[in-house]
């Protein structure tokens, strides 16, 4: 099966890490298994000299050390993060970028201080419309040299769930997750959660930086300005059952009862349903849904499958409380964003082993 992946795409696939699908077993993803997408290089930051600057159209610009931030009210929240490009490698034609298959996701417990309190202390002036979040990571993308930067509408930046986080799963942020400080915007795709923050700037007109205006937009053609990518569309994934073949990753399973399990999430509304198909999508069965790990994190699901010998293609599909559902097939756009078409898992079920008879 040739995907004709280029050496450039392979370089990105090597340095950007996906969640191995069996790690979906963990409600909270261990550090090192969470997905990672680094646009440029991971900056090497000295905590002693690092400062966060809050400026722009504010009454009182602030300059803060990490100790200043850690002395503020702290909140911990489990948040599911997914890359907006997840699924890109399964679209056709495929945009030349990070070639994610299905696994650019993870759920971590982030600890930080609510952004709202800091913004209120700085005091946005009446003309302020957005906050621009700028990282220490710099490079060239689309021919334009820039520091990685993204903005949020001021009213969204003031929502109570938005955090400036210094900790993941109870540990200081490791370099790859944004040490010493990153933004967390629960429900939104990963590009929003700016890492290695150096400044927050209140601006009086919409931000037009490359990562905001020219990237992360759903475009039907190269000429289309498109709509911005914001919240995560619904997606479900399953832990592939049985044991793998090393190279093909196809699965081998003993016949008998098999609990299929996985996770489902949506940035738009709580998960309401997960359906499972064991016949390539011809028929669907409702899975049992667990309570979500938090208001902003995935929900576990299980489905008891009585696996009989044969060959199968397993799928899962979720619907959220607003009726948003995964589509049957990929919805194409120029840059390959938001492909939440269902995962397909090929399984060979072999006759189960007879229980060993106890000696009389």
Where along the sequence are the contacts to its own copies (CB under 8 A)? 1-15, 17-18, 20-23, 25-26, 30-34, 36, 38-42, 44, 89, 96-97, 99-101, 103, 138-141, 145, 174-177, 240, 243-249, 252
Q: Tokens 């028929």 identify what position?
A: 283
Q: How far is the CB of 321 from its own copies (least distance, A)?
A: 30
Q: How far is the CB of 159 from its own copies (least distance, A)?
A: 29
Q: How far is the CB of 7 from its own copies (least distance, A)?
A: 4
Q: How far is the CB of 294 from its own copies (least distance, A)?
A: 21
C-beta of 39 vs 70, nearer to its own copies: 39
CA–CA separation, 103 and 86 (whole Å): 7
C-beta of 175 vs 270, nearer to its own copies: 175
Do the Cβ atoms of 334 and 227 come closer than 8 Å?
A: no
C-beta of 8 vs 120, nearer to its own copies: 8
C-beta of 19 vs 58, nearer to its own copies: 19
Rg (Cα) of the chain, in Å, rounded? Answer: 22
C-beta of 24 vs 202, nearer to its own copies: 24
Quote the tokens at residue 357: 């008879």
C-beta of 4 vs 354, nearer to its own copies: 4
Q: How far is the CB of 77 from its own copies (least distance, A)?
A: 20
C-beta of 31 vs 331, nearer to its own copies: 31
CA–CA separation, 56 and 202 (whole Å): 5
| Nearest C-alpha neighbor of 111 from the set 177, 208, 206, 200 | 177
Q: How far is the CB of 241 from its own copies (least distance, A)?
A: 10
Residue 258's DSSP bridge partners are 305
Q: How far is the CB of 319 from its own copies (least distance, A)?
A: 27
Contacts of 192 (CB under 8 A, 6+ apart): 150, 152, 183, 185, 230
CA–CA separation, 110 and 122 (whole Å): 24
Q: How far is the CB of 90 from its own copies (least distance, A)?
A: 9
CA dihedral 160, 175, 231, 267 (to 10 degrees): -70
Contacts of 34 (CB under 8 A, 6+ apart): 17, 19, 81, 106, 107, 108, 168, 177
C-beta of 13 vs 218, nearer to its own copies: 13
Residue 124's DSSP bridge partners are 58
C-beta of 13 vs 129, nearer to its own copies: 13
Q: How far is the CB of 89 from its own copies (least distance, A)?
A: 6
Q: How far is the CB of 151 from its own copies (least distance, A)?
A: 19
C-beta of 162 vs 293, nearer to its own copies: 293
Quote the tokens at residue 36: 């990672």
CA–CA separation, 81 and 89 (whole Å): 19
Q: Report residue 19: phi and psi, to 5°.
A: -80, 120
Q: Whats the size of the chain, residue-wise? A: 360
Do the Cβ atoms of 209 and 132 come closer than 8 Å?
A: yes
Query: Could you give the C-alpha distances from 228 to 1, 98, 152, 279, 335, in angstroms and in order?
Result: 33, 19, 12, 36, 12
- Torsion sign across C-alpha atoms 213, 124, 119, 43: positive
């Amino acid at each position: 099966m040739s995907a004709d992946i280029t050496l450039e795409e392979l370089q990105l696939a090597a340095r950007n890490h996906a969640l191995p699908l069996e790690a979906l077993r963990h409600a909270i993803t261990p550090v090192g298994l969470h997905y990672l997408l680094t646009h440029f290089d991971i900056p090497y930051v000295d905590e002693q000299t690092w400062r966060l600057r809050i400026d722009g159209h504010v009454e009182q610009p602030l300059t803060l050390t990490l100790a200043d931030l850690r002395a503020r009210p702290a909140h911990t929240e489990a948040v599911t993060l997914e890359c907006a490009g997840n699924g890109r490698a399964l679209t056709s034609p495929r945009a030349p970028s990070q070639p994610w298959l299905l696994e650019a996701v993870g759920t971590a417990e982030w600890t930080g201080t609510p952004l709202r309190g800091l913004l209120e202390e700085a005091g946005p002036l009446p003309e302020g419309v957005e906050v621009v979040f700028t990282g220490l990571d710099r490079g060239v993308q689309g021919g334009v040299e820039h520091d990685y930067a993204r903005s949020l509408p001021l009213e969204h930046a003031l929502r109570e769930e938005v955090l400036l986080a210094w900790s993941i799963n109870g540990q200081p942020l490791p370099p790859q997750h944004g040490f010493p400080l990153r933004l967390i915007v629960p429900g939104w795709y990963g590009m929003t959660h700016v890492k290695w923050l150096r400044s927050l700037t209140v601006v009086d007109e919409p931000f037009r930086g490359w990562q905001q205006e020219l990237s992360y937009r759903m475009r039907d053609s190269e000429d289309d300005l498109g709509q911005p990518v914001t919240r995560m569309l619904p997606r479900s994934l399953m832990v592939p059952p049985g044991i793998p073949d090393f190279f093909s990753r196809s699965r081998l399973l003993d016949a008998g009862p098999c609990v299929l399990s996985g996770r489902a999430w949506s940035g738009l509304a709580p998960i309401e349903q997960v359906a499972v198909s064991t016949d390539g999508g011809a028929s669907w069965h409702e899975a049992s849904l667990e309570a979500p790990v938090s208001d902003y994190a995935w929900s576990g699901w299980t489905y008891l499958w009585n696996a009989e010998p044969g060959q199968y293609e397993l799928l899962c599909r979720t619907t959220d409380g607003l009726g948003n559902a995964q589509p049957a097939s990929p919805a194409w756009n120029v840059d390959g964003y938001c492909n939440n078409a269902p995962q397909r898992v090929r399984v060979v079920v072999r006759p189960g082993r007879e229980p060993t008879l106890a000696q009389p």
